Amino acid sequence: MDMPLPSPDLLARFTAIVGAAHAVSDPVELAPHLVENRGLYKGASPLLLKPGTTQEVSAILKLASETGTAVVPQTGNTGLVGGQTPRSGGSDIIISLERMNRIREIDQMANVIVVDGGVILAEVQKAAEEVNRLFPLSLGSEGSCRIGGNLSTNAGGTAVLAYGNMRQLCLGLEVVLPTGEIWDGLRKLKKDNTGYDLRDLFIGAEGTLGIITGAVLKLYPRPVGHQVALAGLASPADALLLFQKASNLCGTALTGFELMPRIGIEFTTRHIEGVRDPLSEPYPWYALIDISTSDAAETADTMVQALLEQGFEAGLVIDAVIASSVAQQKALWHMRESMSDAQKPEGGSIKHDVSVPISKIPHFMEEAEQAVLAAVPGARICAFGHLGDGNIHYNISQPLSNDMAGNKAAFIERWREVNAIVHGIVLDAGGSISAEHGIGQLKRDELAQIRPPIEMELMRRIKHAFDPAGIMNPGKVVALP
Q: How far is the CB of 420 from its own copies (least distance, A)?
A: 16
CB of 50 or CB of 443, closer to its own copies? 443
Whole-angstrom distance, CA of residue 165 vs CA of residue 329:
23
Q: How far is the CB of 12 from its own copies (least distance, A)?
A: 29
- Given a contact cutoff of 8 angstroms between Cβ atoms, the answer to whether 32 and 433 are in contact is no
- Given a contact cutoff of 8 angstroms between Cβ atoms, the answer to whether 177 and 145 are in contact is no
Q: How far is the CB of 459 from its own copies (least distance, A)?
A: 5
Whole-angstrom distance, CA of residue 332 vs CA of residue 352:
24
CB of 103 or CB of 479, closer to its own copies? 479
Q: Residue 84: CB partners within 8 Å, gap ≥ 6? A: 36, 72, 73, 74, 75, 77, 149, 207, 440
Angle between helices 236-250 and 297-313 (to 10 degrees): 140
CB of 380 or CB of 476, closer to its own copies? 476
Polymer length of the chain: 481
SS3 content of the chain, % helix, strand, coil (to 5): 40, 20, 40
Q: What is the dihedral of CA 158, 163, 166, 170, to 10 degrees?
A: -160
CB of 154 or CB of 398, closer to its own copies? 154
Q: How far is the CB of 456 from its own copies (least distance, A)?
A: 8
* C-alpha count within 13 angstroms, C-beta hemisphere, residue 225: 17
Strands 170-176 and 211-218: antiparallel
| Max Cα–Cα distance, the chain, nearest Å | 74
How buried is 124 (Cβ within 10 angstroms: 0-12 exposed, 13-18 middle, 19+ buried)? buried
CB of 205 or CB of 308, closer to its own copies? 205
CB of 196 or CB of 409, closer to its own copies? 196
Whole-angstrom distance, CA of residue 181 vs CA of residue 58:
6
CB of 271 or CB of 464, closer to its own copies? 464
Q: How far is the CB of 249 from its own copies (least distance, A)?
A: 7
Whole-angstrom distance, CA of residue 48 vs CA of residue 24:
5
CB of 168 or CB of 370, closer to its own copies? 168
CB of 79 or CB of 278, closer to its own copies? 79
CB of 47 or CB of 354, closer to its own copies? 354
AA identity, residue 160: V
Q: Residue 56: CB partners within 8 Å, gap ≥ 6? A: 17, 18
Whole-angstrom distance, CA of residue 278 vs CA of residue 334:
12
Whole-angstrom distance, CA of residue 142 vs CA of residue 138:
6
Q: How far is the CB of 429 from its own copies (least distance, A)?
A: 10
Q: How far is the CB of 403 from its own copies (least distance, A)?
A: 35
CB of 154 or CB of 340, closer to its own copies? 154
Q: How far is the CB of 436 from its own copies (least distance, A)?
A: 5
Give the residue from 118, 124, 148 showing the smallest Cα distance to 137. 124
Q: How far is the CB of 368 from its own copies (least distance, A)?
A: 17
CB of 197 or CB of 413, closer to its own copies? 197
Q: How far is the CB of 206 from its own copies (least distance, A)?
A: 9
Q: Residue 174: CB partners within 8 Å, gap ≥ 6? A: 54, 117, 182, 183, 184, 185, 186, 212, 213, 214, 215
Q: How far is the CB of 344 from its own copies (least distance, A)?
A: 24
Q: How far is the CB of 147 from its own copies (least distance, A)?
A: 16
List Cα–Cα distances, 398 to 27, 196, 272, 378, 394, in angstroms: 34, 47, 19, 8, 13
